[in-house]
Every structure is written in structure tokens, then in C-alpha cells.
Structure 1
Amino acid sequence: MNTSEMNDQQVAGLAAAICATAEAMGQEMNPGTAAMMAEDLCAYPVPIVKTALKACRFEVKGKLAMADILQRVQSSDGRPGKDEAWSIALLAGDEIETVVMTAEIQQAMTAASPILRLGDKVGARMAFMGAYERLVSAARAEAVPIAWCVSLGFDPARRVAAIESAVRMQLITYEAGNQYLSDLRIAPITADGQAIAGLITGSTVAPSPRLREKLAEVRQIVTLAKARQERERAKKAQADRVDTYLRKRKAREAIAVVRQKEAI
């Protein structure tokens, strides 16, 4: 069973939220239909489903459908799009580079590698994307959470840089990153590699001027990514406030109509 599966109370609450969403979109929904939809969605985390319902209220024109909800639930799982996945897969083909990829990217690249070795990059790309989309669709249909893995390259310093970046971006856990770095220490690494590892382990080895420049670039990328996330959170917060305001205004209008009828 998926660890995020809802309990009975959460399913009932979700069914009510589906009914309310349909009503907000100008549609009357049978409670039994809403309950059935909620049961189909019970394998996904409650906050993600509620976020998807909110997106439906703002984005969907017409009646609420299960496909609308599922599309938004599944697209929030963090899996890269097929074009980004292909670029990650190509980078992993360089034996020097250390790359962090999903299980679906790794499996799809296995299908495309024989074609790529023949020199047909276009054919390999088509094979990869076809396999990747099938694998992602199957994983999403089973509500399988995203899983990132590390493909180690030969360059020790690049290994450490890639692992440190993956930890910062929360693709792998701090503990997993530390374990990879501990394994790397079995073989000697450069002073620059030790300096990068120090970002996680706390050791103090002075990096070279060239590495300092590279680290500054990495920090800038991370800073920009965090700023983008903050902007997205601010937009969601604003959308929440607008949604709350609209619901309250609708309630006030409904009360006013009732009072007018009572006065007549």
C-alpha cells in the first residue's frame, strides 16, 4: 500500500471538497460520484489532491472531470518532462560526469543506448522519449513516487559537486549524500573535491580560484531556484486569498438572497 494512502475520514473530506469544487464551477455533482472519485484518488497525498482541485477551479472551463484532477495531481510528482529527461540521459552518457536521474530516465536510456551507439541520435531520442513516456505513465497510474538515483562518473571532483548539488536541490537526502561522499573517500580525491565535500561535511579545505568561481556559479543557480520557488509560493498564497474572498462573498450573497425572500 502506498504510504500516502488516505484514511476513511480523509476520503470523506475529499469527496466533500470535490462536490464543493464542482459547485464552484457551476456543476451539480452527485455525492456518490464524488465519493467514487475520492476513492480513486486516495493513493495520492491529500495536500496534492487539494492543490489540484484548486487548480481546476481556476483553470478548467466547463464541468469538472476526473481526468482534469488526475492530470494536475500527476504533473506535481516532480518527474522531469521528456525533453529535460533526454538532456539528463545524454549527460549520463559521458563517463566522466556524475548525474542524478530518475528510475524512468535510467530505464528509458537503456532502451535507447543501442541506437545511440550506432550513431543515430535522432532515432535514439525518439526511442528514449517513447519509452520514457510509457514508464512515467505507468508509474503515475500506480501512484509510484519519484525516485532519484546517482550515476557516478570517473571524475572525483565532479562526483562530489553533483552529489552536493543534488542534496541542495533535495533530490536526494542529506544522509544519502553523506553516504556517497563517505564511499568516495575510500579513494583519494583532489583538494578541490575535498573542498566541495566540505560544503556538506563541514571540513575546511581551501578551494582553488577556479573552483571558487565554479562554486559561485552553483550558488547563484541555487539562489535563483530558491527565488523562483518563493515566487511560486507567493502566487499560490495570493490565489488562496482570492479563493477565500470569493467563497466568502458568495456566502454573503446567498445569505442576502435568503433574507430578501424572508422579508417578502
Structure 2
Amino acid sequence: MNTSEMNDQQVAGLAAAICATAEAMGQEMNPGTAAMMAEDLCVYSVPVVKAALKACRFEVKGKLAMADILQRVQSADGRPGKDEAWAIAMTTHDEFETVVLTDEIQLALAAAKPVLDAGDKVGARMAFISAYERFVGQAREDAKPVNWHVSVGFDADRRIQAVTRAVQMQRIPQERGQLYLADLTHEPVSEDGRAIAGLLTGSPCQPTDEVRTKLDAIRADLARKRKEKTDAREAERCRILAELDLRKTHLISQVAAIQSKEAARGR
């Protein structure tokens, strides 16, 4: 059972509010129909449904329908739209960034990851949005409340900023935000962690012997790959130049042949 589910008295009050809303919109509604609609909406909180009814009175042209109410109830659940969700998902690639995201964003990102890893960002965005809308639709159908959680990055300052911003936007409760901040601000960063971060940022630090060996191997591998790319580019450049020289020689021969034929005709 959803924690925001209404009791019988609230459902009856909601049915009356639905009838009153329909009347205000110039429509007579059967009390039985209103009661059935109220039963369908009882899994949502009273303030959210009342706000949706108010929005319907101002925005809907024509008769009040269940779809009108449900659309406004669901849009108030705190889940971001597809474009904002994609932007949030993209920030997770920065290991220094702390990201506050929903379950649906995380699931959709996992679904789009193979396409993203293949380097097709446009295709990945399409796959993400398709999966995200499917997951959000299912969650809303199940009346599942939005769940924001924190994916912690390396940068301590960004952790505090991300959690503070999420609290201000009411994406996580203030009490939970305070617990996050308490944990994040007291979380020690090991020398090995600083060393790994230093490999990415260029900041000097002293790792343990084991990590130093691994870092040296990573640096050597990166240097080898850079050399392979440079050698491949040089080989490709030489191949193109040789091909151009061959074409040039061929064209010169063709021009000489044409000129020779024209000279023979002129005699």
C-alpha cells in the first residue's frame, strides 16, 4: 500500500470535489462516476489530487476526464522530463561529479550504455529517452513515488553543492540531506584515492607501492596507445601521399598521351 493512500473519508471527499469541479466546468457528473474516479485516484496524496483538479478548472477546455486529472497528478510526482533526465544522466560520466538522480534515470542509462559505449551519442540519447519514458510510465501506473538518490563523486566540494542543491529543489528531504552531508564531509579520502585522482588531474601525490605499480602500468599503456595512434596516423599519411603521387604520375601520362594525339592530328 502506498503511504500516501487515502482513507475512506478522504475518498468520499475527493468524489465530492470531482463533482464540484465538473460542475464548475459546466458539466453534470453522476456521483457514481465521481466515486469510481476517486477510487482510482486514492493511491495519490490528497493535496496533489486537489491541485490537479484546480489546474483542470483553469486549463481544460470541455468536459472533465480522468485522463486530464491523471496527467496533472503524475506530472507533479517530481520526476524530471526526458531532456532534463538525459542531461542528469550525462553528468554521471564525470567521476569527480556528485549526481543526484532517480531510479528511472539510472535504469534508462544502463539500457542506453551499450549504444553510448559504441560512440553513438545520438542513438544513445534516443535509446535512453525511450527506456526512460517506459520506466516512468510503469512507475506512474504503479503509483510509485519518485526516489532520488546520490551517486558520490571524488570532488568533496561538489558533493556538498550537489546535495545542497537537491535539498533546495526538494528532491531529497532536508533531514536526509543533512545525513548525506554529515557522511560526505567526514568521509576520508585515502592517499591511494588521491593518487588515482592525481593521475586524471595531474596533481602530484604519493601512492602506496602497490598502487604506484598499477599507475605506472596505466601510464605505460596510455603511452603505448598514443604511440600506436601516432604511428598509424603517419603510416596513413605516407599511404595517401604515395597514392597521390601515383595519381599525379598517371594524370601526367594521360595528359602527355592526349597532347601527343592532338599533335599527330595537327600534322
Give the TM-score normalised by structure 1: 0.68
Contact 2:113/2:124 (8 A) holds in 1: yes
Offset at residue 163 of structure 1 (A): 1.8
Cα contact 2:78–2:171 (8 A) shared by 1: no
Larger Rg: 2
Aligned-partner Cα distance in 1 for 2:73–2:174: 27
Please name the residue that 1:74 is paired with.
Answer: 74
Question: Could you tell me how far apart the structure 2 residues matched to 1:168 and 1:58 are?
Answer: 28
The verdict on how the C-alpha distance between 1:113 and 1:35 changes in structure 2, with shifts beyond 3 A counting, is: same
Task: Trace 1:77-96 onto structure 2 (pairs within 5 A).
Answer: 77-96=77-96
- Pairwise CA distance, 1:179: 3.0
| Partner Cα separation in structure 2 for residue 108 and residue 154 of structure 1 | 24
1:238 matched to which residue of 2? Answer: none
Does residue 182 of the first structure (1) align with residue 177 of the second (2)?
no
- What secondary structure, in the 3-state scheme, does the structure 2 residue paired with 1:180 have? helix
User: Which letter does structure 2 place at the counterpart of 1:180?
Assistant: Y
1:40 corresponds to which residue? 40
Q: CA deviation at 1:128?
A: 0.3
Where do 5+ consecutive residues of structure 1 fail to align? 190-264
Alpha-carbon offset, residue 166 of structure 1: 1.9
Instruction: Report the counterpart of residue 31 of structure 1 in structure 2.
Output: 31
Q: Which residue number in structure 2 is paired with residue 170 of structure 1?
A: 170
In structure 2, what is the Cα distance between the partners aligned to 1:64 and 1:33?
12
Q: Structure 2 unaligned runs (5+)? A: 191-267
Paired amino acid for 2:20: A
* Matching residue of 2:131: 131
Give the distance between the partners of 1:44 and 1:167, measured in 2 at CA.
Answer: 22
Question: What is the count of residue pairs matched by the alignment?
Answer: 189
Q: Secondary structure at the match of 1:100?
A: strand
1:85-118 Cα distance to aligned partner (Å, 9 max, x none): 0000001121121110111111110111111111
Query: Counterpart of 1:262?
Result: none
State the SS of the aligned residue for 1:22. helix
Aligned partners of 2:11 and 2:68: how far apart in 1?
18
- Return the alpha-carbon distance in structure 2 between the equivalents of residues 56 and 178 of structure 1: 37
SS of 2:171's equivalent? coil
Structure 1 residues 20-54: Cα deviation after superposition (integer angstroms, max 9, x where no partner): 11111111111111100000000011111111111
CA contact (8 A) 2:89 2:105 kept: yes
Aligned pairs for 1:1-264 within 5 A: 1-184=1-184, 185-188=186-189
Task: Give the secondary-structure state (helix, strand or coil) at the position aligned to 1:149.
Answer: strand
The amino acid of 1:94's aligned partner reads D
Deviation at residue 188 of structure 1 after TM alignment: 4.4
- Secondary structure of the corresponding residue to residue 154 of structure 1: coil
What residue number does 2:263 align with? none
Deviations 1:155-174 (Å, cap 9, x if unpaired)? 22212221222223332233
2:18 & 2:174 partners in 1: Cα distance?
37
CA-based RMSD: 1.5
Give the residue type in structure 2 aligned to 1:106. Q
SS of 2:67 mapped into structure 1? helix
CA distance in 2 between partners of 1:175 and 1:26 (Å)? 45
Match of 1:85, as an amino acid?
A
Paired letter, 2:188: A
